[in-house]
Amino acid sequence: MTGLVRRPVIEVNAGLCIGCGLCLPDCPNLALGIPDGTSRLLDERLCDGCGACVDACPEGALRIIEREARPFDHARVIERARCEGEGAVRAYLACMDERGEDELLCRARAMLGQGPDDSTGPE
Ligand code: SF4
Ligand code: SF4
């Protein structure tokens, strides 16, 4: 497949996962889901390999690996957060702010129609 890049991405060990869901809230990108009883990376383009979810797993089922993957897609994350609601958008913006991801934050706010100093989320 073309357009792949080697980069860090989450990997779920389905053999260890008990489907408790503790990892889901720790992913600001909403990249994880439990569609069939075990945690899954729903779309690799949502995962930026930050590793924030890894320590949430009591079973040691999550780890960051380096592999060929489609590039991280910031716009896709924003759209996913938008679909989930204002709380998800706020959480994502807060996370980028905490990480000092100023460029991504500016792009996200522009996509959401916010000014540079408006951190309150969409109307
Ligand atoms: S590594 Fe980061 S972006 Fe990827 S699933 Fe875990 S918390 Fe989400
Ligand atoms: S925290 Fe671990 S065991 Fe629980 S759903 Fe997530 S990956 Fe599975």
In this structure, what token pair is assigned to residue 62?
């999550």
Q: Would you state the pLDDT for residue 117? A: 55
- pLDDT-derived band at 123 (thresholds 50, 70, 90) equals very low
Q: Measured in whole angstroms, how far is the alpha carbon of residue 109 from the centre of its chain?
A: 17
pLDDT digits (tens, 9 = 90+) for 59-91: 999 999 999 999 999 999 999 999 999 999 999
State the closest ligand 1 atom to the C-alpha of 49, by its place in the atom list counted from 1. 1
The Å distance, Cα 23 to ligand 1 centre, comes to 9
The Å distance, Cα 43 to ligand 2 centre, comes to 17
Q: Would you state the pLDDT for residue 111? A: 86
> What are the backbone dihedrals phi and psi of residue 7, each rounded to the nearest 5 degrees, phi first?
-160, 165
Ligand 1 proximity of 49 Cβ (cutoff 6 Å) = yes
- Average pLDDT estimate for 94-111: 91
Strands 5-12 and 32-33: unpaired
pLDDT digits (tens, 9 = 90+) for 34-61: 999 999 999 999 999 999 999 999 999 9
With contact defined as beta carbons under 8 Å apart, do 86 and 121 qualify? Answer: yes
- pLDDT-derived band at 12 (thresholds 50, 70, 90) equals very high
Q: Which bound ligand lies closest to the C-alpha atom of 15?
A: 2
3-state SS, residue 65: strand
Q: Measured in whole angstroms, how far is the alpha carbon of residue 80 from the centre of its chain?
A: 9
The CA distance from 14 to 4, in Å, is 24
Q: Which bound ligand lies closest to the C-alpha atom of 32?
A: 1
Q: What is the dihedral of CA 32, 96, 120, 89, to 10 degrees?
A: -20
Q: Which bound ligand lies closest to the C-alpha atom of 41?
A: 1
For 36, residues 6+ apart whose C-beta sits below 8 A from its C-beta are none
